[in-house]
Amino acid sequence: MTIPSSITSWIPVPESSDFPIQNLPMGWATLPSGFSSPVTRIGDTIVAVGDLVNHGLLPPELAKVRAGWTALTKAELAQLRETLMNLYRSESEPYAELIQIETLLPLDQVILHTPVSIPAFVDFYSGIHHASNVGKMFRPDQPPLLPNYRHLPVGYNGRASSVVVSGTPIRRPKGQTKAPNDENPTFGPTKEMDFELEVGFFLHSGNAMGEPIEIELAEEHILGIVLVNDWSARDVQRWEYQPLGPFLAKSFGTTVSPWVIALDALEPFRVSGPDQEPAVLPHLKASTVGHFDIQLEVSLQPNGSEEASLLCQSNTKHLYWSFSQQLAHQTSNGTPTEAGDLYASGTISGPDEGSYGSMLELTWKGTKPITIQGQTRTFLEDGDTLTLRGFAQGDGYRIGFGEASGTVLPA
């Protein structure tokens, strides 16, 4: 259910908040009572959805949400959004004390977790500007894009066990690296710690082995969208990635925002993606618009500083492959997927330098250092805090994602 822009909430919502009543994101938190519960957010107020069940404020068929967001069908999730809207819209304020107070909590009184349990994690490479930049840097005598790029969403299987919620520190990894003129590799902390500006989607439901998800049905399997920072060790990656791709350079940590944004909330922000030439094969051709106009930004708070500075700005509309195409491709060989699986987009860079979504690009492989608050950076240093933000701007409101933030700890 898409909530009309004219509806407001009796819960205070700060101006330019990421979380008006039109959003109603899906999260999971430990409450002051010590119990864990599905939660949503309006402004800076947390709604304990599990407590709504305990107080009889949700229809009985929605009570199973206490087991997790994926316990509800897609139709029931839409019903839940409508119920929450009716409870918290401005017209319901006269009943607030009777029905809501015990279910509302200040944001700083809960501990947010990853919004769902994550069985598997796949990282795609769907940002065409990022892929082109990497090709220019590492294969200057060849075309920037490899021959398969415009025919299929390139991806690899990552580590679900190292996906963490925003605010979790990330320790600098160790690994093998080899300088161009060295005879043998060495082992030690990465010297090229990097971030990747991405978004991702969680699955609401999976598929049985041997039964691909058709592209026209792909969104029925998507729970919603989150911010993703797939931290990277570029020097480790450069040595290990041939011939099978990323491994230890990526698996040490991936940060996600704590809020899943439903596709219903993003419906007003659908846009056409880039023209896909040559035409994609039939199993990847969708009849509906599958991209979204979500503004993205990254800020860096350097070690020792008390404030952050903007690093880059981009937009999800720059993705070459849509979420539906990514999921249809993932299952096209019959691989089974599960509720809670996380699929990340790959780095989302735009066409100009200010929109590059990684330090690798912003400093062009370390050859063009940048200065932030008087400190020079080619890659991330210990103590640096990196924060991703994103929002879709509507008429008088925005649908935001909150933050995906992490601080680099020493190896």
Q: What is the mean pLDDT of each run of 10 residues along the chain (411 residues)?
A: 94 95 98 96 96 91 97 98 95 74 90 98 98 96 96 97 98 96 96 98 98 98 98 97 94 98 98 96 96 98 97 98 98 98 98 97 97 97 98 96 98 98
Contact 343, 213 (CB under 8 A): no
pLDDT for 102: 75
pLDDT of res. 285: 97
Minimal CA–CA distance to 159: which of 319, 344, 386? 344
CA of 397: how far to CAs of 5, 17, 123, 199, 230, in Å? Answer: 7, 8, 31, 21, 29
Hey, which residues does 165 pair with through a beta bridge? 256
Tell me the per-residue pLDDT of 13-27, one tens digit each, with 9 for 90 and over: 999 999 999 999 999
Report CA Rg, the chain.
21
Catalytic residue among 129, 130, 204, 329: 130
Tell me the pLDDT tens digit for each residue of 104-148: 999 999 999 999 999 999 999 999 999 999 999 999 999 999 999
CA distance 210 to 233: 35
Model pLDDT, residue 103: 87
Residue 255 contacts residue 284 (beta carbons within 8 Å): no
Known catalytic residue at 329: no
